[in-house]
Structure 1
Amino acid sequence: MRKMRRRRKLSMTSLIDVIFLLLLFFMLTSTFTRFAEVELAAAGSGAAVSGETKPLFLQLGAEDLRLNGTVLTLEDLPAKLDETRGDIAEDAEPKPLIVALRGEVNSQRLTDLLVVLRGVSGYRAMVLGAS
């Protein structure tokens, strides 16, 4: 008669160690690319604005955009801002641009606006918090 062999239990410890080592290796060797980024700066104590510098007021709605009360699209905004800036020197202090959110503005709409504003020089955008 045959003798019954007892099966040895497999140890899972070495398998788990190998999995953790592989995980660690792939995490350390991966490169995390930035798909898109928008620079944001925290509000702080800024320099005082001179009395001659009037800020522009930009209202961002879910469907519309208003610059000092004039309805615009995101595509028309850079041209209108360049027109508003006028003949001020490039090295002059940036003009303040206050952005207020109206209604149900989602984060994608705000990001689209900030990307457009990043391409326009001479303005310092300040986004007002929700009230």
Structure 2
Amino acid sequence: MPTIGSLDELAGILADRSGLYVRWSMGPAADLPAPASRDELTGIELPGLSANPLDVEPWWGDRPLPTWAARRLYDYSHLPRVKDRRVRPWLLHGRECGRGPDNEPLVADVEPLGWIGAEVIEEALGEVARHNDSWGSLDRRR
């Protein structure tokens, strides 16, 4: 699977295609043989992979796509620290088939598109830090 190497590259993909999500996990090889997530609190199997939408919302207007992508990646960039250091973000196309207990999309018919490189996450963290005064507190270090 290819690796996306910059926020600009990811933004270009977002500009060209809809139905895109980022999933933080061990990757498609681990997820796709039995494509279901599990609610960590109750242990209930969910009918799809939990993922975060990357499609740009209309209210974003003509603001920069790299900033949108950075904000979306930042939200879960803490997962490798709190879950498992092998957890990595990957880009996928899929069909939303429900919502999980945290209101996250559950995705079926998954097409893996690429790993999101560590350098992209570093760029995203920098982009969020650049805007932090105007965005308020987005502390995900815990």
TM beyond 0.5: no
More strand by share: 2
Larger radius of gyration: 1
| Structure with the higher helix share, 1 or 2 | 2
Normalization by structure 2: what TM-score?
Answer: 0.25
